[in-house]
Structure 1
Amino acid sequence: MDKVKVGILGAGGMGNVHIENLLKIEEAEVKAVCDIDGQKAEKLAAMAGAAVYADFDEMLEKEELDVLYILLPPYAQAGQFEKAADKKIHIFIEKPIAITSDRGKSMVDAARKNGIKTQVGFHMRYGTAVSKLKRLIEDGSAGKPVLFNGRYQCNSLHAPWWRDVNLCGGQIFEQAIHVYDICRYMYGHPKAVASFMGNVCHADVPGYTVEDVSVSISSFTTGAQASITANNCSVPGRWDALFDMIFEKVSVFFKSPDEAEFHYITGEGERVEYFNEPADHKFLEDEDFIRMVKENRTEFCPVEEGLRSLLYVEASLFSAKMDGEKMRVENY
């Protein structure tokens, strides 16, 4: 394979982010852009000299693609993944991969059947401080997992589709899933979750049907516990995803996925290390995926991981709708 030929489905904000990254990656060549909004598609395609399509099936038929980037809102996932997988096209898909776990399971089954490589846009997994702690967990230096405290907070009306729970799934689904995913990535898959949610600040906003505050408690087979909160009533203009992670031998307090205080528990007491190595997570995930395809390397965050985190937030949402009833978190 000379260059990895890329098609992009979805010319919104994430389309702009990813195409800018792909243009910097020597091994990638953007061949086509598809969106029902012709002006958006043309603008994005012009950046790469790519072909423009309004019909996804037509793009699949006419273009010989190695990779497809699916950058659609949750409600717009309607079988495009499966169609591309059946053509043996490798797929990058933004989170959440779908608005229901049934749709997500269909994607996973299609990927497995066709043997394609996949990547989900959980970019915080590429945080340098996150990666540092992950290595300590994997080599045993962190000790037993104890407690995860995570929070997602912002204050924005967002796009009209985002405010409609039937189109985005809610803040837990569309935003806080990043924090739920990091929790899973570091602590393993939870066995149960109990949640509550409400609409405190936006009940009078027309068309605003998603929750604007939520809290969940999760338990793991290891005995570890997690607390995750989210709200859309915090500081305007800021989108914060923060977490603290407690393990038997190290406590880590994150200011971002790249910046954290590592407190090591030793026989002599405590040793503190301040870590700060900024990185462009979205670029790293794009570069990693393209090279993964070109070099036939092992997947880092395949679609199975997207489904498992979707199952986690789905169980959290179901629990909140049942006034905090504990829900088992399915694995797949």
Structure 2
Amino acid sequence: MQKKLQVGILGAGSMGRNHGQQLKSLEDVEITGICSLPLQTADDLAALLEIDCPTCDSFETMLSEVPMDALYLCIPPFAHDGQVEAAAAKGIHMFLEKPIALDLARAESMALAVETAGVITQVGYHMRFQQSVQRFQSMLADGSAGKPVQFQGRYWCNIDPSGWWRDKTKSGGQITEQLTHIYDMACYLMGDPKTAIGWMANLAHTDNPEYTVEDTSVGMLRFDNGSIASISGSNTSAPMHFFGEYRICCENVTMEYRTTGQPWVTPDSATIYLGEEEKEEFVEDKNLYLEETLDFLSAIRENRPALTPIENGVRAIRAVEAVIKSAEQDGKAMIID
């Protein structure tokens, strides 16, 4: 049996719990430490996972005392203040929840540290692991799909979280924190964005002074190959429904990804249209969080890049930052360097 990978978890919120449960299910992984603020949340996660491992509320303590081949960073974007650089310097591979930072400067600093250290990274854009997406990506790679032409996507929900998410200085807003999944998908399938235009507003939460993020947005991207994407966001949609879906049109092939907004009730589905009558149908019922972890851990063992390395997280931030800057200037076109 191969040696167990020793993995630490930084951040014991909802995503820390999620990834902890995926890791606990794997026989070739040992969770060697959990770090979170306040300390009780780290203790609670250890109890939930039924594991006996060190817990702490200081990342410096974790880094110096907990043996780790890999680290899962499950912290909000505002909480990144050098943890990636410190872990990279120690040769620790990293899984980073999205978005990897609040702004491009912080993200680029993290990516540079990773590149210098030569460690393997994976960013939590789990939608890339959908079966239909991987099939479509293979058709783009072998040329059978033809040139990418247009992408249309949306992420609509209706949540009223307390704390950091609705504070723009901590989450960056819905475009940065949630729609990043759809912007990443557009970049993954269409290429590198070169121009961005955006509009955003807070239309339905003006009575709450603590709600400083947008609840309505539209962004447009033009890519270096000439293709175009339009992406809309809303936090005023049906409660307990999460509509993350998209369509992509290429010269020869079209894909439609659909959701009822409640994939835990009815799995998402997708159709790839290959011609007038020929098509491929998909039911997206895989555990995508487990899939991205399996790819990350295999990448470490095989010494290869994971599907979504940190530079893709930087690209997503570059795109959404340009859309937000455009929106702040009433839709002025922004060049993405």
TM-score after normalising by structure 1: 0.96
Is residue 2:266 matched to residue 1:263?
no
Code of the residue aligned with 1:247 in structure 2: it is C
3-state DSSP of counterpart to 1:275: strand
Shift of 1:274: 2.3
Q: Does 1:191 align with 2:198?
A: no
Kept in 1, the 8 Å contact 2:104–2:317? The answer is: yes
Q: Which structure 2 segments of 5+ residues have no match? A: 260-266
Show the counterpart of 2:24: 23
Counterpart check, 1:286 vs 2:261: no
What is the one-letter code of the residue matched to 2:66?
A: E
Cα displacement (A) at 1:295: 2.7
Q: Which residue of 2 aligns with 1:216?
A: 219
For the Cα contact (< 8 Å) 1:151–1:228, is it kept in 2?
yes
CA contact (8 A) 1:179 1:228 kept: yes
Equivalents in 1 of 2:335, 2:198: separation in Å? 12
Structure 2 counterpart of 1:68, one-letter code:
L
Amino acid at match of 1:22: L
Determine if contact 2:121/2:305 at 8 Å carries over to the other structure: no
Aligned-partner SS, 1:30: strand
Aligned pair partner of 1:181 in 181, 184, 204:
184
Q: Distance in 2 between matches of 1:142 and 1:289?
A: 28
CA RMSD of aligned residues (A): 1.3
Is 2:317 aligned against 1:310?
yes
Residue 239 of structure 2 corresponds to 236
Contact 1:171 1:211 in 2 (8 A): yes
Q: Which residue of 2 is the match for residue 158 of structure 1?
A: 161
1:313 partner amino acid? V
- One-letter amino acid of the structure 1 residue matched with residue 176 of structure 2: F
Mapping of 1:130-149 within 5 angstroms? Answer: 130-149=133-152
Distance 1:21 1:299 in 2: 17
Report the alpha carbon displacement of residue 146 of structure 1 after superposing the two structures with TM. Answer: 0.9
In the TM superposition, residue 296 of structure 1 has moved relative to its aligned partner by 1.9
Indicate conservation of the 8 Å contact 1:258/1:279, yes or no: no
Shift of 1:273: 2.9
Q: What CA deviation, in whole Å up to 9, does each residue of 1:192-237 have, x standing for no partner?
A: 0100001111111130000000001111222211100000000101
* Contact kept in structure 1, 2:295 and 2:306, CA below 8 Å: no
* Cα drift, residue 25 of structure 1: 1.4
What is the aligned partner in structure 2 of residue 59 from structure 1?
62
Structure 2 contact 132–272 (Cα < 8 Å) conserved: no
Match in the other structure for 2:263: none
**Matching residue of 1:12:** 13
Deviation of residue 10 (structure 1)?
Answer: 0.2
Q: Which residue of 1 aligns with 2:264?
A: none
Shift, 1:70, TM fit: 0.6
Q: Say how many residue pairs are matched.
A: 327
Q: Which amino acid aligns with 2:280?
A: E
* Equivalent residue, structure 1, for 2:40: 39
Aligned-residue sequence identity (percent) comes to: 41
| Number of the residue aligned with 1:253 | 256
Contact 2:270/2:284 (<8 A) preserved: no
The one-letter code sitting in structure 1 at the alignment partner of 2:5 is V
Query: How far does residue 258 in structure 1 lie from its aligned partner after superposition?
Result: 5.7
Q: What is the distance in 2 between the residues matched to 1:261 and 1:71?
A: 33
Shift of residue 56 of structure 1? 0.7
In 1: Cα distance, 2:215 partner to 2:195 partner? 23
> What stretches of structure 1 of length at least 5 have no aligned partner?
none
Match in the other structure for 2:326: 319
| Structure 2 SS opposite 1:216 | strand
Q: Write the letter of the residue equivalent to 2:216.
A: V
Are 2:206 and 1:206 aligned?
A: no
Structure 1 residue 271 displacement after superposition: 2.1
Q: Quick check: 1:70–1:92 contact (8 Å CA) kept in 2?
A: yes
Amino acid at match of 2:39: G
Q: Which amino acid aligns with 2:31?
A: V
- 1:128, 1:278 within 8 Å by CA — same for their partners in 2? no
In the TM superposition, residue 67 of structure 1 has moved relative to its aligned partner by: 0.5
1:58-137 correspondence to structure 2 within 5 Å: 58-137=61-140
Equivalent position SS for 2:40: helix
Find the aligned partners of 2:180 and 2:11 in 1 and give their Cα distance: 21
| CA deviation after TM superposition for structure 1 residue 2, in Å | 1.2
Q: For residue 336 of structure 2, what is the aligned residue in structure 1?
A: 329
Q: Give the deviation of 1:177 after TM superposition.
A: 0.4
Q: Deviations over 1:250-296 (max 9, x none)?
A: 1111115962122223xxx4423322242111011111111221232
The letter of the residue matching 2:270 is: A
- Paired residue type of 2:305: T
